[in-house]
Structure 1
Amino acid sequence: MHKLSKYCIGLIVFIFLYQSCDNNSSEQENWVNLLSKNNLDDWVVKIKGHPIGYNFNSTFKVEDSILKVDYSKYNDSFNNTFGHIYYKKPFSNYKLRLDYRFLDNQVADGEAWAYKNSGVMIHCEDPNSIGLDQGFPVSIEVQLLGGDGIKERPTANLCTPGTHVEMNNQLVTDHCINSSSETIHDTQWVHLEIEVNNDSIIKHFINGVKVMEYTKPIYGGEYSSEFTMALKGQPVKSGYISLQSESHPVEFKNIEILELLN
C-alpha cells in the first residue's frame, strides 16, 4: 500500500479513537453529584404527619458525604411516619447512580414488610402537592431490599404507587414486581443505576447487571393523590427523585445524575 494511503488511514483511525475517548470523557464530566454541598440544602424533606420541610427527629442527615436515614431519636416508635427526601428539581431523561446499604436494626414498631426496605422514587409528584398525612408520593419506585440471611429477597424491584407500567407490551397493574437480582444479605455497599427515558424505557441495574426493564408509565391505580387523580391514564414523563425512610436505617452515597438528550 502507498505510504500516503497508510498515513491517511492511520490519521482517520487516530481521529476516530480520539473523538470516541473525548465523548466518553465528556459524558463522565457531565455526571452531577447531588450531594456536592455535603448537606441537605438542595433537598426537600416530607414526612407523613408533618409539614413539608420539617425534618422530624432529624431523620435525614448528611455526614462525610453520606446521606443517612437515621432513627436514633425515635425512641423505638416509628408510628408509620413514612418519609421521603426529594432533590430540589424534576428530571425527565437521565441516568441516576448511587450506592446504598442497610444497617443496624429496624425501629421496633416498624412494619414487618419494611425490614431492610427502602427505595428510590423516580418521576415523583411535586413534593409541594403531598398531603399532610400522605405516606407515599405518586411515583415509580425502585424498591431496595436486603436479605435476612435465609430467604431470597431480590432488590431493585418495581413498585407503582399511583402508577402503572407495561412489560412485554402488556399493562401491569400489580403493585410490586420482583427483579431478577440476587439477594444481598449483609451490610455491604450495593451499586444501583437507573436509566430513565421519559415515558419510554426505564431500566434498573444492580452492580452493573440489568435486573429490570419496563415501559410506558401512566398515572392510575392504588395510592393516587388528589393532585394526580385528574391525570389518570396519562403518561408519566418526568418528576422529582426522592429517597425513602420506612423504619429501617439505610445510607446512600455517591448520588450522581447524568442528564440525557431528549
Structure 2
Amino acid sequence: MNSINLYLCYLCLGLSISMISCQSSDQNEEKWVNLFDGESLDGWKAVMGAADFEIENGEIIGIAKFGTPNTFLITEEQYDDFILEFDLKINHISSNSGAMVRGQFDPTARNGNGLVYGYQIEADPTDRAWSGGLYDEARRGWIYPLDLNPPAKSAFKMGEWNTYRIEAIGNEIKSWINGQEVAYVVDDTDSRGFIGLQVHSINDPNYEGEKTHFRNIRIQTEDLTSTPFNGDVFVVNTGLNQLTDLEQQNGWKLLFDGKSSAGWVGAYKETFPEKGWHIKDGILMVEASDGSESMSFGDIVTVDKFSAFDLSFDFNISEGANSGVKYFVTLSEGNKGSAIGLEYQILDDERHPDAKMGRDGNRTLASLYDLKTADKQPRYVRKPGEWNQGRIIVHPDNKVEHFINGVKVLEYVRGSEVFREMVSESKYKVWENFGEAPEGHILLQDHGDEVKFKNIKIKELN
C-alpha cells in the first residue's frame, strides 16, 4: 500500500472514530433533561423561608435574608432514581447551601409554615469543608460528614464554580464534586422526592444579600447506570449486615453475619454465652440484668485477634445504659469483671452517673474510657433508642482515632509518652504495658444494660 492510500485509510479510520464518538456523545446528551431553562423558574417553587431567588445570565441566584429560616427552591415534580448534575458557586462564608435529593415537604408543619426534610448534599464554605457530604435535613442530622473522607475536603473551591454530580439509584446515594469522589451512602429512608436548592438562614444582618449561584441544572431518569467509586472511600450503610462491592474490594469483612454467633465466644470461655446474648432479626443484643460489669452474662470477644484495623459498628442503647467496645484485649490478666483492654465508651451521658466520674469527662460516650475525653457536640449524637455509628481506626503507626456518627472526636498514639502518662493517672496503671499489646481481640461489653449491635465490620490495615 502506498503512502497516499495509507494516509486515506488513517483519515477514514479517524473520521469513523470521530463519528462514533460524536454519536455516542449525542446519545448520552439525549438522556439529560434540563431542570432550569435559564430564563424562568417554571417547574420550581420557593418554600419554608423568605429568601429571594433571581435569574441573571442563565443562573439562579439565591439571596440571603435575615430573620427567616432556611429557604428552598424545590421542583414541582418528584423523582425516584436519577443522576443529577449542576454547578454551584459560593462567595461568602455565611452562604451555607446544598441540594435536596428525594426531598420531602410537610406543608402543615411549623404552624402551617411548612417544613423541608430529608437527604441534602452539602455545600459548606467554612473551614470544616464538608461539601458533598450527606446531611439528613430536619431529621437525623449528619449521615456522611467528610471526616469519613478527608481527601475530599479539598474538592470544593470557594468563589469558583463547582460541578456537583449526585446519583440516587436504588438505596444508594453517591456524590462527586469537580470529579472527586465524596460521599457513598446506602440508606432506604426515602425512595422518592423533589430536587431542592437551599439558601441557608443567617444569624447576622450584615450577611443579608449574600448570594448563592446555581446553573446548568440537569437530570437523567431513564436507562441509568451507576458510576462505580474507585477510591478507598468509607461507605455508610444503614442497612443490615451487608457489604457493598466497593467495601469487599477494599478489604472489609463482617464480624457479625446477622444470623449466628460465628466468630464470637464468651470472654475467658470457649463457647458463646448460653443466655443473655441474643441474635434476632439481624441484631445482636445483650439483655438488661442488674447493671453490673460483666457479672450476669459476660462479655463476648472475637475469636480472631487484630493489630492495625478500621472497625465500624452500629449500636443502640436503652435509657441510662452503659457498655463499651474494647480492643487489644489479650485475656491474659485473669481479672474479675470485664476483660482488660482499650475501650470505646458506650454510655447514656445524660442519665448514667459514670459520665460524671473519671477525669474531665473521660468516661463519656465515644471517649477512650478513663484516659481521654471525646471532643463531641451533642448535635452529632443520637438519643437512646436510636442507632449511632461508632468507628475505631488503629493505624499501623499506632495512631488511634475514635468517631461517632462519622465525626472524629479524639486521637492518640499507643505507646507514646503522652499515652503512658494518661495511663499512669488512670485505673489502668496497675497493668504493665497497658494498651500496648501488638494484637488483641475485639470485645463487646455486658454491663448489665440492654444494648444492641449491628453492622459490625472491620478492615485490616497494613
TM-score norm. by structure 2 comes to 0.39
Assess if the C-alpha contact under 8 Å between 1:119 and 1:144 holds in 2.
yes
1:1-262 equivalences under 5 Å are: 21=230, 26-29=246-249, 30-36=251-257, 38-46=259-267, 52-53=269-270, 58-71=275-288, 74=289, 78=292, 81=295, 83-103=298-318, 115-125=320-330, 127=331, 129=332, 131=334, 134-148=336-350, 154-159=364-369, 175-183=370-378, 184=381, 185-198=383-396, 200-217=398-415, 222-223=427-428, 229=432, 232=433, 235-261=436-462
Shifted more, 244-253 versus 145-154: the winner is 145-154
Q: Deviations over 1:143-179 (max 9, x none)?
A: 11123369987411012xxxxxxxxxxxxxxx33220
Gaps of 5+ in 1: 8-15, 105-114, 160-174
AA matched with 2:345:
Q
Report the Cα distance in structure 2 between the residues aligned to 1:210 and 1:80, rounded to whole angstroms. Answer: 29
Gaps of 5+ in 2: 1-13, 19-179, 182-226, 234-244, 356-360
Report what 1:172 is aligned to.
none
AA matched with 2:302:
Y
Do the aligned partners of residues 193 and 23 (structure 1) sit closer, same or farther apart at CA in structure 2, a change above 3 Å counting? closer
Shift of 1:216: 2.1
Q: Percent identity?
A: 27
Assess if the C-alpha contact under 8 Å between 2:256 and 2:262 holds in 1.
no
Shift of 1:53: 3.9
Shift of 1:26: 4.8
Do the aligned partners of residues 23 and 247 (structure 1) sit closer, same or farther apart at CA in structure 2, a change above 3 Å counting? closer
Report the Cα distance in structure 2 between the residues aligned to 1:256 and 1:148, rounded to whole angstroms. Answer: 28
Report the Cα distance in structure 2 between the residues aligned to 1:233 and 1:67, rounded to whole angstroms. Answer: 29
Q: Deviations over 1:110-146 (max 9, x none)?
A: xxxxx42111101111x4x353x52232311111112
Report the Cα distance in structure 1 between the residues aligned to 2:395 and 2:438, rounded to whole angstroms. Answer: 8
Q: Deviations over 1:74-129 (max 9, x none)?
A: 5x58586163210111011111001101126xxxxxxxxxx42111101111x4x3
Shift of 1:260: 1.4
AA matched with 1:64:
D
Report the Cα distance in structure 1 between the residues aligned to 2:376 and 2:346, rounded to whole angstroms. Answer: 11
Pairwise CA RMSD of aligned residues?
3.6
TM-score norm. by structure 1 comes to 0.66
